[in-house]
Every structure is written in C-alpha cells, then in structure tokens.
Structure 1
Amino acid sequence: MIPAWLYDFRVQAIIVALLAFALYANTFKHEYALDDTIVIVKNEYVHEGFAGIDDIFTKDAFDSYYKQFNSSNQLSGGRYRPLSIVTFAIEQQFFGAVPVDKVDSVLARGLSYEMKSKEEQQFLRNMHIRHVFNVLWYMACVVVLLYFFRYIVFRDNHIMALIAAVLFTAHPIHTEVVANVKSRDEIMSLLLLCGTFIYAFKYYENKKIITLISAMVCLFMAFLAKEYAISMILLLPLAFYVFNGFTIGQCFMAVLPYLGVVGAYLAWRFSIVAPMNESSDNDLLNNPYANADKTEQLATKISTSLNYVKLLIFPHPLSSDYSYNTIPYKNFSHPQVWASLIVHGALFRWMFKFFTKRHVLSFALAFYLLNLLIVCNLIFNIGGTMGERLIFHSSVGFCIIVAYFLYKAMEMIKPAATGRLAIAGCVVLITALYGFKTIDRNQYWFNDETLFAEDIKTTPNSVLVNSNVASSYINMAEAEKDTVKKFEALRTGVKYYNKVLQIHPTFVSGYMNRGVAYLKLGIPDSAKFNYDMARKLYPNYPKLYEVYYNLGVCYYLSGRLQEAIGIWQQVMQMEPKYIVAQQSINTATQQLMAAQQAMLQQQQAAQQPPKK
C-alpha cells in the first residue's frame, strides 16, 4: 500500500517545494548573465524603482536598452512583458532606487570586471537577493502546478499528479528559467496560467462571480507576464471538454468571458508596442533566417523543433544560446527535417485520436504542441532559432505524458507491491539524474564569463557566445596588472572576434569591440579600420564621437600627431559641442608646429657653412 500521508496535498506540496529549493539553492550567490543585462542592469525604469513602474507598463520591455543605442524596436511584434519587470523595480525600491535625474549616470558608468566600487558590490549583493526571489517564485510555481495536476488533470490519481510535478520540478531544461533572473517572466506566466485553469474550473463548482473574475484576472496577468497566454484560447475549452465532459457548445460558451480578456489585452498591447525597425529584419541576431531562402527557412524551423523533443528526453548538453550560426540551415533533403515531420505528425494524430475519447493524453499533447507552435517560428517570428527557456510551458505536457505512462507501467507489474516499488525506484532514479544535471548546470550561470566559457564547448559557432567570450577576455585584460598577461588576454579576445566577424561580417558590436581591443594593444590603425566599419554599418552608434576621440588619443600617444588631429577633426564634425576634442586639436597643432619649426631650424643649421 502507498502510505496515506503521501496523498495529502500539503505533504506533496512540501516535497516539490523543498526539491525546488534544494536543486536551485546553489544559485543564491550568482551575479547576472545573458539577458539580465538588458532587462535589469541596463534598464533605467528598473533602477528608478516605483517611479519607473508607469514607464514599464507603457513601453516595450526593451525600450530603455534600445534608447541607449539610439535605436527602436528590433524584434518582430515587440516584447511587452511588464509584470516580471515590475517586480524587479519593486525590489530595486527596497534596495535603493536611483533618482530619475541621476539614472543616466548610473547606466553610463556600467560595471567593471573586478567590481571594485561600493556601488558595484552593492549591485551584486542585490543580484544575489534577486536569485533567491527567483527560486521562491519557482517554488510557488511548482506548488500551484501540483494543485493544477491534482484538481484538474489527475483529479482521480494524486500519485500520478505528484510524479508529474516532481519530474517538472527537477527537469534540467528549466535551469535557464530559474538561474537566469530575467526569465522570471516564464515562471510567472505558467503560475498564472495554472491559476486561470483552477479558478475557471472552480467557477463551475460554486458559480460565484468573484471566482470567475479571479480567473479572468489571472489570465490578464498571465498575458502581462508573457504572450504565451494566447494558447489558453484553445487549451481552456479543451480542458473543459476532456475533464468536465462539456459538449463543444458548452466549451464555447464557457470560454466567452476569457475571449473578452484576450481582446482587451491585444488592444492594450498594440497601442504600446512600436513597429519593428525595418533594418532589424536583416540583422542575423534578430532574424537568424535572414540569409536563408524560403525553403531553407521552413525546413530549418521544422527540424529545429525536434531538438526540443531530444532535450526533454535527454537534457544534455545544454546551452544558453542557439542563435546564428549554431544551427546550420537545412533543406528538405536533410533526414532531421523528415524525422521532425514524422514525430510531430504522429503527436498531432494521437492528440486528435485521444480527443474523441476525452483522454488526459489529448490535453497533455495539446499543452505541448500548442505552446511549441508559439515558439517554433512557424507561426510567430520569435527573433531566434530556439531556447531552453522557450520550452518551459510545453514541458508541462511532456511531464504529464511521462507520469501517465510510468504509473500505467506500475499497474502492469505484478504483484502490486513489486510494481509500487519499481515505480518508486524509477521516479527516484530519474529525479536523482535530473537533479545532478540541474545542480551541475546551475554553476555555469554564475555570470557571463562562466556561462559562455562553458557554452562555447557546446555551441562553438554561435556569434553571441563567441562574442561574449571575446568580451570577457577584453574585460579581464582591463583588470590585469601584469602587462604580458594583459596583452595575451587582449590578443585572445581579438582572435575570438576574428571568428565572430568571419561568421557574421556585418556584426557592428564585433567591429566596435575588436577596435577597443586593438586600441588597448596600442595599434591605432587596426582600431580605426574596425571603428570605420562599425560607423559605416551603424552611423547612429551611441557616443561614436567619444570612441573616435579615444582613437585620436592613441594616435597622439604613438607620436602620430597629424593622424590624431585628423581624427579629432572628425570628432568635431560628429559633435561640434565636444570641446575636449577642439582643445586636443589645439594642443596637438601647437606641438606639431613646434616640431616642424624645430625641424626647420635643424635643416637651416645643417645648410649653413661651418664657422672657421
């Protein structure tokens, strides 16, 4: 017999919550990585605390970052996900909000490699706390997910619900979602979607209007967390059909109030998100299929979807980035394309087959496939090829399926006691393996340096991974006191940027940062070539005049006064009010004239006959 206490919700909730805490406690001392920079570190509205909340709700999620690069929306459809960003702003209010009139100086100062200043050290301590909050959000999410399983999906089998919740909690593919603070939007989205299901079903039990309103509020907030809530248009009526035995007509009537929520959200969203910058569609980092023809685009998108199945079944190796050129373009002669078509075709077939039987597997397959359709680029352009965080919602369907078949396998084993022991051993073994991988993977999310140094082994052709590894070497050189080691780090950074620009010849940041490395190496001609390329590709690069001013300084320190003056004259054309450049021109001109005068005197002296 399975002990009676194991069926109790409180016991099961403690199990999954403690499991989540144990698996992710090693992230509490982490710093920031990946998109944390865009969403938190470089987000003026977050730094402003409560004062920034209005802007967070009325602007694109990346608005602050775009402004700092003199740009606008670079992603198809924009990104409107204010809910998680508001939580970051609230946290910042208690950490210490930055006054609105001083936030620009905070963003401009940035963070150095060694984190020496008091402000930098305080920022990292704040990030530690944010990581703790992320784990707490995840614990809340898996507990609500457990309740969703018990109350709706496995209402007659609470052990099956526990198995599904445990598998979901421990799955290593979720490490990006929990270990990367920015991905709190994924956690909040799933939590609120589960809340929508729960309140929607409770309404048909108690018929209280407050319950219906609660369900509608949860759905609207789920939209504010992330756009994935659009899948509820089909998943909610399907759940009523499968689990409550509603007719098709009853399902349609039941979902009508929620369609109003969807309409209100879409109207609000489209009034806020700006149209995409037209040039961004040709940027390989925002549109990785820009260099592929229509056939290659379709074939590559189809084949890439199979990668998610593989990672859910066998989550190794994992990577933080799958952008250009990690996944090469494919055509319909590639076997993975057809394997993906066969696998997903079979999944859709089984979903419809089980639908007629009102079977739980129909709902599980729909949960997986509908959420996959949102992120696989076949319907919506997500601005990337794939990402482990993007399968977070779909993995719920996967865990339902695995839990179902594990439990059914137990029932087939006789005697029953042996079956129960076998299933317990199987779940413990899977959880242990998942847990080991999760804890191991977490350590690399410490910061950008540790993350990309590891992931370049997995995705060696990724532009972003190579670029970030290169940047980390340049940052290390900045902190290095030994000249030999400093120059070695800079040359290594240049080597990685050479690879980046070989893969992506129009990558502006690649040229700009390689130019910085050459400048630090004291090679101004190579720095100038890179800056000129960046300027040609992106004339509106922020504070370009300061970059060229530093280039002029490098020429000046090399004793090449004429070249320095020429560069500073360009600076004055870019920014006529930049007085420092004019002062430098005056100083260098005086030195050049003095040097020319001295040379002329030497020549005249050499031409005079010697005195007798």
Structure 2
Amino acid sequence: MAKDKFNDKSKDKKVDLTSESKLQLRLIYIFIFAFSFLLYSNTISHGYVLDDDVNTRANKYVQEGLKGIPKIISKSYYHGFNGENEGAYRPVVLVIMAIEKHFWGNDPKVGHLFNLFYYGLACILVFVLMHHIFRNKGHIIPLIISLLFIAHPIHTEVVANIKSRDEILCFLFIILTLIFLVKYNYSKRLPQLILSLLFYFLSLLTKEYGFTLIGVIPVLVYIISNKDIKNTAIATAPYFAVAGVYFLLRSSLLDNIAFQEEMDLINNSLVGATTYSDRLATAVTIMGKYVMLLIYPHPLSFDYSYNQIPIVSWIDIRPIFSLLVYVAMGVITIKALLKKEIVAFGIVFFVFTISIVSNIFVEIGATFAERFLFIPSFGFCIVLVLALKRMLKFNPGANKNKLTFYGIIALLLISYSFKTYDRNKDWKSNLTLFTADVEACPNSARTHYSLASTLNNNSGVESNPKKRARMLQRAVVGFKKSLEIYPEFSSAWYNMGVALYSLGKPEEAKTAYENAIMINPADKQALNNLGVIWFNKKKYYKALEYFLQAVDVNPTFVDSYANIGAVYHNLGDMDNAIAYYNKALELNPNNRSAKENLAKAYRSVGAIEQAN
C-alpha cells in the first residue's frame, strides 16, 4: 500500500503544473464553491440572529462605515459595542463589516451572502493546500477532504451566524499562511515566505487562533522538507517574530490584554468546580466531547453553558476515556512523524487549534461551543480520510476496495449535507434557533432563558391580546425552568419580573425583581421597576427609595431621574420635581415623558413661559 508521506526525491524538483489539466482544476474549484454555496443557500434569507449585533447594528464604529475604520484599528474588538478597551484585538473582521455597512447598510442578506462567499473561498483554499501537500498524488484525496470539510454540520453555527465571520476569515488566512509556506519550502522563493508571514499576521488580526500555528508550522515543515528538527525550528522563527509584533501591537493599543471581568458560572460551568482536579477532569471530558461531536454531529446547539455539561471527577469514566483518546493521538502522531506521514499534520492541526479553547490552560468565556470546532475540524477531516484510506488499503490508482471507500465517503457526504441543510433552518431567527435548542440542550439555563427572553421581547409587538398573553406565559415557564437549573441567574429573575408585570401580576413581578437585586444589587432596571410598582401603589416614599438606588448605581440612568421627578411631582414638591425632570432631559433631551411632566410642573407653579 502506498503511504501518504514525503520521503521521495520529487519534492525537491519544480512541479510542472502545465502537465496537469488546468481545466480540471478550474472545474474542481467551481464545484467546491458551488457545493458550499448551495449547501448554505437557505441561510441567505435569514435575519440577524444571536450575537450578530456585536459586530453589526450595535457596534457604533461599524455603523459609522468607512469613517469608523480608524477607531476600529485603534481599539479592542468590543470597544464599539460596550466601550471596554480590553481583551480581544480583531480589527480585520470589523473593518470588513464597516465596509459592508458603508456600501449596503444594515442588510442581513448581504451579511449572509458574504459569509457564504468567504466560506466557499476558504473551502477552495483547503483543496489548494491539500493538493500542494499531496504533491504528484492526484486530486482525489484532496478533493474528498475538502468536500467532507464543506459538508460537516459542525460548521452551521459559524456559516449561518454573521458574527462568526471572524472564524471564517481567520481560517482563510491560516490556510493561506500554510499554502505559501508549503510553496516556499518547495521553491525557496522569498516572496512566498513574505506572503505566508503576511497572511499569518492577518490571521492574528482576525482571531487568536493564529497563535496555535506556532505548533502546527514546525510539524508541516518537517513533513514536507528534508530539514532536521533543528533546521525546522529555525524555519519557524519568523512566525514567532510576527506573533511577537502582534502581541506588542495589541499590548500598546488595549488597556488590558485580557478580559478583567470576573468569570460567571452561567458562561463557563468550570467556574463551579470546587477543586482544580475536578476542573481538569471536566475540561478533559469536554475535549473528548469535541471529538465525539465531530464523529457524530447530533444534536447541535448554539449553547452548552451551565449545567448542560456538569462537573465531573477522575472517578468518572468519561475523563479517563477522553484522556486515553488524546494519548492515542499522541502515540500515532509520533509514529507518523518518524515516517513523515501527512496524518501527523492532521492530528497536530486539530490538537493545537482546539487547545486554545480547551479550558485546560486558561478558563475562557464559554464551557463548550460548536464554533470552536470550525477550524480544528479541518484536521479531523484529514485524519478521517487518511484513516479510511489506510484501513481499506485504498489506492486511487487501483481498483481494490474502491467501491467500499467511495461508498463510505458518499454516505458521509450525504448524511453530513442533509444534517447541515436541515440545521441551517434553525438559524433563521432567534425564535427558531432557541426553540430548537431547548430540546437539544435541555439542561442549559441559557437555552431556556434565551427562548423565554425572545418570547418576552416579541410579545411587545404582538397586537393580538390572546397571542400576546400566551407568549408571556410561555416566557414565564421558560424563565422558571432556567432558574430551576441556575437559581442565581439574576437576569432570568429580572426578565421574569418583566413578563409577570406585563401579564398583570405586579406582586409576583415584585418578588422576581427583589430576587434579582439580591443576587445583583447593581441591577438598575430591577431597582427602577420595583420603584414603578411601589409608585403605582401610591407608596411614593418607598418608590423614591428604589429610584434613588437606581441612580446611585448608575448616575446616567435617565428613566429613574424622570421617575424621581414624578415622585416629587405627586408629593407636591415642584422644585425637586422640576430639578429631576431637567436632569433627565439633560441626559436625554428627547425623553418625551420628562418633557410633558416638566411642562405640567411649570404650569402648576405659574411658570407659563417655561412650560411653553
């Protein structure tokens, strides 16, 4: 059996690509792009979903279009969204989003179309890279790897979610980095190396996955070249230098290179581990779950937060099994490296790119996510195809086991494609996504909360009173389910209070708001809403107590200033009423309620001129 390795002398010779059918290659490129585009074509009509607003409508710099680009380049990824200049520095994707906004406005169809375009381009580049690596060995294996990558259902979150454009672009730049690295190793032409380093820098400016190439590049160079370990390390040095430049740039522009906010249990279940041993056991278990979801991608969910993946210890079989899987990967990699087999590159690519989100080395802002598998899945597809090829002793140039090999690949492609196309439908809107995913991840407090919040929000625009009431009742049920899983979820208490108040149950709403501020005393909205409930009972001093607390925790909270004015107005203290109405209007000159009440207050003291 022919092995997929690089120990032949042909790699040192210039390959005459004109001997291959250029037309055939072009047809393959067209087919790859068409397949990827058609597979996700049912996402084009989708709206903004989940966290798309982070880098679209709710990002003030993106909304400025071309004028916002200088600010994007000089601030953190989230600064235009929440004003915090810390953590991630990913200007490339935001610059692209700003350009889209400038020319096409806020149109989700355009966003989805560009996601499909970049994804199709990335998939073509996957084929190009594998075609370069499988030098002189035909198109079949590179094409199969590319098609499996395209069809894998784990990619639905990234391709169907506009916000995940950063994942697609980062992967695209990673593949370009490797393509020009391979070309440089064959040709020794300096421009190829410069282009590789440039694309590596762009990958870092898009998302932090680029850092993991520091572990991947030496392995690829070692496999495709005659270099020993020492010279391989030397060949990797320029990439370390580029990473250092990026790190210095990031450090100089951001106030903090890491997120300063304390990790919340609702975002990462590992925070709830009482010992480091249990945290590590759970993280290792999660690493095994990533492999399992690549092998059997069902069911899929946008969220796996608390308590979908519970804390486990080493007496549980799951972390032990997961650890053995990765130990086996290590053994296979070492053996494959000694023989310079390509499967080693696939394993190393998977392990290194997944390591950055593993929660083993550092806790990140999520327990587990399908989007984290988008880039690592490329390594999985390489390993899967080469493992099948070896097990079946398949050789593209021979007939032995050809039918079996192609049959398995066809079965995988058909099943993957069906699952992908079907899963895309769930990403049409927040309502369709969250409705599907409470079934997929019933033990996640966030899935129930997200569906309940969407029903709560949508009820505000429902004109049919009966339908509106049913939506609010479903929302309350969802919030209660979320709180059964995580009783300390302050946002769920607050939003349940909103739904209960809309249902005409102010006493139950009051209890929900009180629970919210017991958990989060700085919840200005819960404090304000409690004040409104007491105000409606004509308990003005009790209402005033909560309104004052709200402006104490947030001195720019317009609603509570206007409400304080209303309290004093009803108490007959017009001087204070006028003062607080004016304060509200100072913060927001367009506050209609404060304007009208201020005019009434002026008229009540005979200040007709000011009232007008």
TM-score band, normalised by shorter chain: 0.7 to 0.9
Aligned to 2:99: 90
Cα shift at 1:560: 5.6
CA pair 513-135 structure 1, distance change in 2 beyond 3 A: same
| Pairing of 1:294-309 with structure 2 (within 5 A) | 294-309=276-291
Normalised by the length of structure 2, the TM-score is 0.83
Unaligned runs of 5+ in 2: 1-19, 574-612
Note if contact 1:565-1:589 (Cα within 8 Å) is conserved in structure 2. Answer: no
- Secondary structure of 1:375's counterpart equals coil
CA deviations 1:136-187 (Å, max 9, x no partner) are: 0000000011100001245524211111111111111111110111111111
- Secondary structure of 1:94's counterpart equals helix
Aligned to 1:513: 495
Note if contact 2:213-2:352 (Cα within 8 Å) is conserved in structure 1. Answer: no
CA deviations 1:471-498 (Å, max 9, x no partner) are: 0221232122333432332232122222
CA deviations 1:58-96 (Å, max 9, x no partner) are: 3222233334xxx775xxxx2222221221111111134
CA pair 145-414 structure 1, distance change in 2 beyond 3 A: closer
Aligned to 2:144: 163
Instruction: Give the Cα separation in 2 of the matches to 1:278 and 1:417.
Output: 60
CA pair 569-417 structure 1, distance change in 2 beyond 3 A: closer
Q: Which amino acid aligns with 1:44?
A: K
- Secondary structure of 1:34's counterpart equals coil
Cα shift at 1:267: 1.4
- Secondary structure of 1:378's counterpart equals coil
Cα shift at 1:272: 3.4
Instruction: Give the Cα separation in 2 of the matches to 1:224 and 1:509.
Output: 33
Unaligned runs of 5+ in 1: 97-122, 592-612
- Structure 1 residue 137 and structure 2 residue 118: aligned? yes
CA pair 572-363 structure 1, distance change in 2 beyond 3 A: closer
- Structure 1 residue 8 and structure 2 residue 24: aligned? yes
Instruction: Give the Cα separation in 1 of the matches to 2:284 and 2:185.
Output: 39
| Pairing of 1:453-532 with structure 2 (within 5 A) | 453-532=435-514
Aligned match for 1:56, one of 69, 72, 83: 72
Q: Which amino acid aligns with 2:279?
A: Q
Cα shift at 1:532: 4.2
Q: Which amino acid aligns with 1:359?
A: E
CA pair 317-579 structure 1, distance change in 2 beyond 3 A: closer
Aligned match for 2:35, one of 15, 19, 39: 19
- Structure 1 residue 259 and structure 2 residue 240: aligned? yes
- Structure 1 residue 199 and structure 2 residue 180: aligned? yes
Aligned to 2:405: 423
Note if contact 2:63-2:98 (Cα within 8 Å) is conserved in structure 1. Answer: yes
- Secondary structure of 1:479's counterpart equals coil
| Pairing of 1:95-174 with structure 2 (within 5 A) | 95-96=104-105, 123=106, 126-153=107-134, 155-174=136-155
CA pair 51-511 structure 1, distance change in 2 beyond 3 A: farther
- Secondary structure of 2:119's counterpart equals helix
Q: Which amino acid aligns with 1:521?
A: L
Instruction: Give the Cα separation in 2 of the matches to 1:538 and 1:16.
Output: 51
| Pairing of 1:166-565 with structure 2 (within 5 A) | 166-275=147-256, 280-281=262-263, 283-293=264-274, 294-408=276-390, 411-412=393-394, 416-417=398-399, 419-541=401-523, 544=524, 548-549=527-528, 551-557=530-536, 563-564=542-543
Cα shift at 1:296: 1.3
Cα shift at 1:570: 5.1
- Secondary structure of 1:386's counterpart equals coil
CA deviations 1:91-126 (Å, max 9, x no partner) are: 111134xxxxxxxxxxxxxxxxxxxxxxxxxx4xx0
Note if contact 2:389-2:395 (Cα within 8 Å) is conserved in structure 1. Answer: no
Cα shift at 1:20: 0.2
Instruction: Give the Cα separation in 2 of the matches to 1:414 and 1:589.
Output: 88
Note if contact 1:452-1:468 (Cα within 8 Å) is conserved in structure 2. Answer: yes
- Secondary structure of 1:323's counterpart equals coil
Cα shift at 1:553: 4.3
Q: Which moved more, 1:577-586 or 1:360-369?
A: 577-586
| Count of residues paired in the alignment | 549
CA pair 53-155 structure 1, distance change in 2 beyond 3 A: farther
Aligned match for 1:31, one of 47, 66, 74: 47
Instruction: Give the Cα separation in 2 of the matches to 1:528 and 1:518.
Output: 9
- Secondary structure of 1:215's counterpart equals helix
CA pair 532-211 structure 1, distance change in 2 beyond 3 A: same
Note if contact 1:170-1:435 (Cα within 8 Å) is conserved in structure 2. Answer: yes
Instruction: Give the Cα separation in 2 of the matches to 1:32 and 1:429.
Output: 33
Aligned to 1:111: none
Instruction: Give the Cα separation in 2 of the matches to 1:589 and 1:525.
Output: 24
Cα shift at 1:292: 0.8
Q: Which amino acid aligns with 2:387?
A: F
Note if contact 1:568-1:584 (Cα within 8 Å) is conserved in structure 2. Answer: no
> How many percent of aligned residue pairs carry the same amino acid?
33
Q: Which amino acid aligns with 1:34?
A: L
Note if contact 1:569-1:585 (Cα within 8 Å) is conserved in structure 2. Answer: no
Cα shift at 1:527: 3.1
Aligned to 1:79: 88
- Secondary structure of 2:440's counterpart equals coil
CA deviations 1:234-286 (Å, max 9, x no partner) are: 211211111122211221221222221011011112333444565513x1134
Note if contact 2:218-2:236 (Cα within 8 Å) is conserved in structure 1. Answer: yes
- Secondary structure of 1:333's counterpart equals coil
CA deviations 1:338-389 (Å, max 9, x no partner) are: 1101111111111011111111111111111111222211123222121111
Instruction: Give the Cα separation in 1 of the matches to 2:80 and 2:102.
Output: 18
Normalised by the length of structure 1, the TM-score is 0.83
CA deviations 1:277-314 (Å, max 9, x no partner) are: 65513x11344222212121011011111111111111
Note if contact 2:267-2:367 (Cα within 8 Å) is conserved in structure 1. Answer: no
CA pair 412-93 structure 1, distance change in 2 beyond 3 A: closer
- Structure 1 residue 584 and structure 2 residue 566: aligned? yes
Instruction: Give the Cα separation in 2 of the matches to 1:158 and 1:565.
Output: 74
CA pair 55-381 structure 1, distance change in 2 beyond 3 A: farther
Instruction: Give the Cα separation in 1 of the matches to 2:386 and 2:378.
Output: 12
- Secondary structure of 2:45's counterpart equals coil
Note if contact 1:456-1:465 (Cα within 8 Å) is conserved in structure 2. Answer: yes
Instruction: Give the Cα separation in 2 of the matches to 1:72 and 1:262.
Output: 21
Root mean square deviation of aligned Cα = 2.7
Q: Which amino acid aligns with 2:36?
A: A
CA deviations 1:437-467 (Å, max 9, x no partner) are: 0000000011211111100001112122111
Aligned to 1:610: none
- Secondary structure of 1:519's counterpart equals helix
Note if contact 2:535-2:567 (Cα within 8 Å) is conserved in structure 1. Answer: no
Cα shift at 1:431: 1.0
Q: Which moved more, 1:169-178 or 1:43-52?
A: 43-52
- Secondary structure of 1:344's counterpart equals helix
Instruction: Give the Cα separation in 1 of the matches to 2:334 and 2:434.
Output: 42
Instruction: Give the Cα separation in 1 of the matches to 2:401 and 2:96.
Output: 46
